[in-house]
Amino acid sequence: MKRTGKTMEKLSYVGKSMPRKDAEIKAVGSARYAADRDFAGMLYAAAVRSPRPHIRIDGISDAKARKVPGYAALVTYKDIKGVNKWPVVMQDYPFLPEKEARFAGETVALVVAASEKAARRAAALVELRYKELPFVEDPLEALEKGAPRVHGEDNVFSTYRIKNGSVDEAFRKAAYTVEGEFSTNYQVHAYLETQGAIAVPEPGGGMTVHSTTQCPFYVIDAVAAALAQPYHKIKILQTVTGGGFGGKEDVPALVASHAAICAAKVGRPVRLIYGRKEDFQSMSKRHPGWARVAYAADKSGRITACRVKYVLDGGAYSTLSPIVLWRGTVHAAGPYKVPNVDIRTYAAATNKVPCGAFRGFGQPQISFAQESLIDELAAKVGMDPLKFRLKNLLKPGDRTVTGQKLNSSCGLAEIAQAVRRRSGWDRKWKSPSVKGDVASGIGFSVAYYGVGLGAGGRYLDRAGAMVNIYKDSSVGVSVGNTEMGQGALTVLAQIAAETLNAPYAAVRVEEVDSSKVPDSGPTVASRTTLMSGNAIIDAATPLRERIFKTAYDLLLAEGADASLPMVAANGVFRMGAKSVEFKKVVSGCWSRRLKMCEQGWYTAPRTSFKNEDGQGDAYVIYSYSADAAEVDVDLRTGVLKVRKVWAAYDVGRIVNPGLAMGQAQGGILQGMSWAVYENLVYKNGIMVNPNFTDYVIATTADKPEYDITFIEKPYAEGPYKAKGMGEVPLIGVAPAVANAVRNACGARVRSVPLLPEKIWKEIRKG
């Protein structure tokens, strides 16, 4: 396109707290979730679940269930037209088990009836004949020889290693060494909306599925496989999704497949909505983790070596465990310059609920261990733990433990200093206080987080978008990544409006329709702004050229001075005193019969990584966090109260400051809740507290005071130089709180959650 004169543009929407696109429908209750949708002739499904942790299935009878009024059908693995393997990573999880069920709560069959009440009643009457088999519920025991077999020959789903330098020699020569074992428990996603899907049969054997999901393309993979239908006969429509946090990444595909198998059998729409208890019992969780970590340092306080053994409890099937473990492996030494490393990690199979994605994705567990131990190493060296970290933190130009050289988008030292200043760290850490029976202290942590899927998931790291400008100048945007409460519809609308110079109010980003956009991978790993944002820019750029050329021509036709630059901002184009609005420009484009719809595509830059030794570029870019937590500890009871959290983040340019602040506050509270309260209990392979009465989560009444700041280190390849925000606020909270407890009362608790009885016991040890 030939030059049309100089254009001057300032940012109109990016960097501003624009109102949420979905705020009104959620505030007034008009949003339609999966459970709100209805179809003519719709039936309802309910699951029949395994009562024990490991069983051989000898028979299933619906003789009693048939007597329930409205009963329609029993659905078992025999009704699956395709291959009975859910297509996720290792493909070891059957849609419905044939011979054995491997965890209590696993769906072994489904009942379809005329109402949800009838379906649940009938499901309770289905008789399951079975024999109990040996089971294992401890991941370390599962790795021992002779343990009951859950997966393969050794109960190992996956294992990784990062090796660099001479670790043994570095430990022999070290002036200071520390070593410790740490463990973390499950975390339940606690999304307000439980899992659910509606499957609607279409003529010719097709199926449309309405699904609450983060990853519609995982759902289409599974439904097509279960029904043995080509992809073009399957359509996935994302319903308004009431929270995800990773819990609606993989498992919605299983739920949707169950609904689709039922609908295919009865030939009518089928709705399957989980109750809270069965959601607890059968849906994914944050992996419990165990780690033994050791660090070495020289006389000056420089970290010289790190050795890690890290084990995740994957549960009965692999699902996403190999990918979760890989991220934890890459980040296991922390955001420090460490020349000698030996990191070995394992995902172990047990007869418990399969675990999967959760905000932080395998990193919070190991960060709790290594950041707790860094405090102990600092104490041995005789340094303030924050100053010790500053001495060892990664900076631009440094290399990570995988050998990756960091670019200029690394503000780790700056955010650590910001938290130091804002929290009054230097004074408070030196002088923890005791008033009566309450001890107060402060703790610190830092974290880095690889944005996107990285080398471990590079084949999924792509995104598509379609931008359609209608005749009335309204703009429709379709993407393959989802809104689940994090603000994606808003941020992506800002990016589209900015690129086109369209009014923000004129832009609408739709929930995902798998027939409108290509497979864009999962909505995970803080990748939506980066990936879908760049795809939108790719689609909008040719439209922008046509719009800006037309605007320039219209301004000249109005008598504008061609020697002046054209200024584009806030949906208006100006040259001197002359101006034209976006709506009129679009009308001009349509009059010229210009193409006003384009598709865009973005793939993450290639990463080089060798699994043999864990060396290479693991991620294209990193985001960073620093946290300080101030706590009160009741010395009589061990009861812990988190009073205030100071946090600073480098996530590149902030597209929407208001939403970023909300992400930060929510992530801090979710991380604090995991650290202090959340305690899912298993006994003899059975989950004993699958409800919000006995599984305690933090509420707004428990939230600490927040002091949050952002230091923007632009990422040149990001949309308007943004990186990723979603996960970093959670990762460092637990170790900061644990370190604060140690500062307050001397108690080093090495397991999450930091329950009062654990703190009390450590206090008594003196």
For residue range 738-766, list pLDDT tens digits in order: 999 999 999 999 999 999 999 999 999 87
The fraction of the chain above a pLDDT of 90, given in percent, is: 94
The distance in angstroms from the start CA to the end CA of the chain is 76
Q: Please choose, from the candidates 242, 295, 699, the residue with its C-alpha nearest in 3D space to the C-alpha of residue 484.
A: 242
User: Which residues neighbour 319 within 8 Å (Cβ) at sequence distance 6 or greater?
Assistant: 88, 89, 93, 250, 251, 284, 354, 355, 356
Within 10 angstroms of residue 536's Cβ, the number of other Cβ atoms is: 30
Is residue 517's pLDDT more than 70? yes
pLDDT given at position 4 = 41
Is residue 3's pLDDT more than 50? no
Edge-to-edge strands, sheet with 438-450 = 433-435, 438-450, 622-634, 640-650, 705-710
- Beta partners for 433? 440
Within 10 angstroms of residue 23's Cβ, the number of other Cβ atoms is: 12
Give the chain's mean pLDDT. 96
pLDDT given at position 458 = 72
pLDDT given at position 459 = 72
Residues of the chain with CATH 3.30.365.10: 7-31+462-603, 289-455+609-765
Q: Is the peptide bond before 230 cis (omega within 30 degrees of 0)?
A: no
Residues of the chain with CATH 3.90.1170.50: 34-133+189-282
pLDDT given at position 766 = 73
- pLDDT tens-digit map of 134-182: 999 999 999 999 999 999 999 999 999 999 999 999 999 999 999 999 9
On whether the CB atoms of residues 476 and 442 are closer than 8 A, the answer is no
**Alpha carbon of 587 to those of 254, 469, 471, 542, 546: distances in Å?**
46, 10, 7, 17, 12
- pLDDT tens-digit map of 590-600: 999 999 999 99
Q: Please choose, from the candidates 488, 716, 462, the residue with its C-alpha nearest in 3D space to the C-alpha of residue 602.
A: 462
User: Which residues neighbour 153 within 8 Å (Cβ) at sequence distance 6 or greater?
Assistant: none
Which fold would CATH assign to domain 7-31+462-603?
Answer: Aldehyde Oxidoreductase; domain 4 (3.30.365)
Which fold would CATH assign to domain 289-455+609-765?
Answer: Aldehyde Oxidoreductase; domain 4 (3.30.365)
pLDDT given at position 631 = 98
Longest dimension (CA), the chain: 87
On whether the CB atoms of residues 448 and 331 are closer than 8 A, the answer is yes
Distance of alpha carbon 145 from alpha carbon 183, whole angstroms: 22
Is residue 320's pLDDT more than 70? yes
Q: Positive or negative CA dihedral for 87, 91, 93, 99?
A: positive
Q: Please choose, from the candidates 178, 219, 384, 358, the residue with its C-alpha nearest in 3D space to the C-alpha of residue 286.
A: 358
pLDDT given at position 2 = 32
H or E segment and range at residue 466:
strand 462-469
On whether the CB atoms of residues 286 and 252 are closer than 8 A, the answer is no
What is the model's pTM?
A: 0.96
Residue 140 phi, psi (nearest 5)? -70, -40
Q: Positive or negative CA dihedral for 32, 33, 34, 36?
A: negative
Per DSSP bridges, beta strands 686-687 and 705-710 are: unpaired
Edge-to-edge strands, sheet with 196-201 = 71-75, 107-113, 43-49, 270-273, 196-201, 207-211, 234-238
Residue 3 phi, psi (nearest 5)? -65, 140
- pLDDT tens-digit map of 103-140: 999 999 999 999 999 999 999 999 999 999 999 999 99
Q: Which of 280-289, 521-530, 538-547 has the lowest mean pLDDT?
A: 521-530
Distance of alpha carbon 55 from alpha carbon 321, whole angstroms: 23
The one-letter amino acid code at 153 reads: E
pLDDT given at position 9 = 59
* 3-class DSSP state of 344: strand
On whether the CB atoms of residues 453 and 525 are closer than 8 A, the answer is yes
Q: Please choose, from the candidates 454, 603, 449, 624, the residue with its C-alpha nearest in 3D space to the C-alpha of residue 532.
A: 603
On whether the CB atoms of residues 245 and 670 are closer than 8 A, the answer is yes
User: Which residues neighbour 642 within 8 Å (Cβ) at sequence distance 6 or greater?
Assistant: 629, 630, 631, 672, 676, 702, 704, 737, 740
The string of DSSP codes covering 518-536 is: -----S-TT-HHHHHHHHH
The one-letter amino acid code at 81 reads: K
Residues 465-472, mean pLDDT to the nearest whole number = 98
Distance of alpha carbon 350 from alpha carbon 142, whole angstroms: 6
The one-letter amino acid code at 92 reads: D
Is residue 77's pLDDT more than 50? yes
* 3-class DSSP state of 421: helix
Residue 59 phi, psi (nearest 5)? 175, 155
CATH number, domain 34-133+189-282:
3.90.1170.50
The fraction of the chain above a pLDDT of 70, given in percent, is: 99
Residue 343 phi, psi (nearest 5)? -120, 125
Q: Positive or negative CA dihedral for 555, 561, 562, 564?
A: negative
pLDDT band at 605 (very low <50, low <70, confident <90, very high): confident
Is residue 189's pLDDT more than 80? yes
pLDDT given at position 1 = 27
